[in-house]
Structures are given as structure tokens and as C-alpha cells.
Structure 1
């Protein structure tokens, strides 16, 4: 009789999350297939339902993980929003699936009424940090804290969230220049 190898639940869960991230980024929530995710993770569909409850639960777990990774990697610095935007740009550049997942989320979940708690908490914390800096006088209050956060986040995502047609126009810009544009634009916004 051949001894069985103990199963590593954490490793299986991590493989499922990685495979799901790639599948959801490529085809969205509706287009994703649990059989493809299971096969890519060298697992089975039953494990997806065991760990995540449903395909939607799996997407939530993937999105929560992406948000957590971004928060761990890119901490907001309200007194240096241009620097924060540059670091956020770098993060999006290293992890192209982030913007794709965010786009699918907006398209397929934006009107659903459900919100992912990690995103809500992250946005609230960032808005409060910016508002506190505004109250302290270190950040101008030309824009409200939520407006300023939106401008910073979307400016940081300028290159990673653009259409292919716009990408054709700026194909010659290297990563250093793209980052410099993001930082300069946010600096101009903050000083407005």
C-alpha cells in the first residue's frame, strides 16, 4: 500500500486563489469557469466550493487579497500624495491584474448593492488620513478628501487602465517617464 501524502490546505487555497486571479482578470466573473480554475490550480471544483462557497465567494476572496496586498505594499502618505501616487503606479505596473480585476468588479458588481468590506474600509481610512492632513494644514482643501483620493487613485492608474487605442499613442513612453507624469500630475492637483 502506498502511503498518502498529507494535503496542505493552505497551499491548495493559495493555488486556487492564484488560478482564480488569472481567470477572473482574463474573462471576468461571468466568464470565469470553476473547472478551468480548478485545473489550473491542480485541484478540483469541490475544493473551490469547500474553501470559498461559490464562484462569487472565490472572486470576493481574490479581490480581498488583491486589496490587502496593495494596502500592505502601498501605504498612503497624505503629506506626500504625489509620492503615494508614484508608489501606487509602480504597484499597478508590477501587478497588471489589479486594474483588470477592478474593471471587472465595476462592470459586473458595481450596481449589485454589495460592497467588499476591505475596499470600503481602505477607502474610509484613506479619506480620513487625507482629511486629517487637510485639517492640520499640510494638504490643501481645494478638493474634498474623497475628491482628492479619487483624483490620486485614478491618476496613478492612468497607464494601466487606459484603452489600447490610447496605449498606441504613448507606446514610446518608458516606465520612468510614465511614473514621472503621474507624480507631476498629482503634485499639480495637490497644489491647485
Structure 2
């Protein structure tokens, strides 16, 4: 039987994404990932080297998918906010991966994919501020942090808060878009 390396890598990434999103890096088990992917641990290590490197591959793939599905537009931050809110509502595993990344990798080597995204977005925001498209009452890094925090506010709340939050997804989205619109008001 001929092995399909690309298919095996894809199955490993899919299984690892589910495992890491649910249990984080420390809780994830390579045995389970390999079993769900239908291969042995040796293949996992051959393709990815270690559990940490596998997580890096999962998170890098997550960043690539995110960038494709949620385009950033410094000239339309409320529109970006709505798209980002929708993405996390539709993909709760994505937010869990991001949380695990922040919790379990704070001192690790920075992933090029994340560094590049941040650099590009901060440059876009600085350019929009210099061109007068956005007010400059917050530096670009603070503005990006505030926008992202607003966008993920509903999906990052404790479950007990659900009873207090607006019932419908569209209502929550409208609040996010309005909050970002007010944040950038001159």
C-alpha cells in the first residue's frame, strides 16, 4: 500500500487541532492524536518533530485560515470587527486555540505567522492614522488590542454570563460593531 504523506499530515493536523483546542498543549496526548488520525506516533514525530512543533503547525495553520476568512481593513475597523466576531462565533475551537497559545506559550519563540500579521496590521493602522482615516488618540498597538478585545468579548465571557448577554448573535454582533465605531470616532 502506498502512503500518501500529504493526506497523513492533513489528518494529523485535523486531529491535533481538535485535541489541542479541547485540552491545550499540556493536556493533549500524541497517542490520541495519532489514533484519531489513523497513523502511529512515529509518523507524527517524523512529520512534526515534537508535540510543541505540532502545536506550532496547528496554530500557524489556524492563523492562515483566519487571515483568509477575516480580512483586515484599517479603513473599515467596524466591518473587520463584525467579521472577527462572526468568525469566533462560528469557530469556537479557534478562540480556544488562541487562549491555549497565550496561556501555554508566553515565553516561547514567537511564531513567524503571528509576528508577521501583527507587524502588517500595526503598519496599516499607523498608515490610516497618518492619512487621517483613523484618529490617533490611541497608538496602533493599543487600538488593535482594544478592537480585538471588543470583538471577542462575548465569546470569551464565563458561561454564567450567557443569561445576561443579548440573546441573539446578530444583537451581540451589532454591539461589537457599534462599540468599535465609537472607539474610533474622532
Q: TM-score range by the shorter chain?
A: over 0.9
Q: Report the TM-score, using the length of structure 2 for normalisation.
A: 0.96
Report the Cα distance in structure 1 between the residues aligned to 2:12 and 2:72, rounded to whole angstroms.
30
Give the CA deviation at 1:161. Answer: 1.6
User: For residue 72 of structure 1, what is the aligned residue in structure 2?
Assistant: 68
Partner SS, residue 191 of structure 1: coil
User: For residue 179 of structure 1, what is the aligned residue in structure 2?
Assistant: 173
**1:126-148 CA distance string (max 9 Å, x none):** 01001100000001111111111
Report the Cα distance in structure 1 between the residues aligned to 2:149 and 2:18, rounded to whole angstroms.
23
In the alignment, which of 181, 185, 190 is matched to residue 184 of structure 2?
190
**1:65-100 CA distance string (max 9 Å, x none):** 001111111111111100001011111111111110
User: For residue 115 of structure 1, what is the aligned residue in structure 2?
Assistant: 110
Q: Check if 1:130 corresponds to 2:116.
A: no
Q: Check if 1:12 corresponds to 2:4.
A: no
Partner SS, residue 141 of structure 1: coil
Report the Cα distance in structure 2 between the residues aligned to 1:19 and 1:169, rounded to whole angstroms.
35
**1:17-47 CA distance string (max 9 Å, x none):** 0110110111110110000001111111111
Give the CA deviation at 1:169. Answer: 2.2
Ranges in structure 2 where 5+ consecutive residues have no aligned partner: none
User: For residue 54 of structure 1, what is the aligned residue in structure 2?
Assistant: 50
What's the C-alpha RMSD, in Å, of the aligned pairs?
Answer: 1.1
**1:161-188 CA distance string (max 9 Å, x none):** 2211222322x51111111111001001
Q: Report the TM-score, using the length of structure 1 for normalisation.
A: 0.93
Partner SS, residue 38 of structure 2: coil
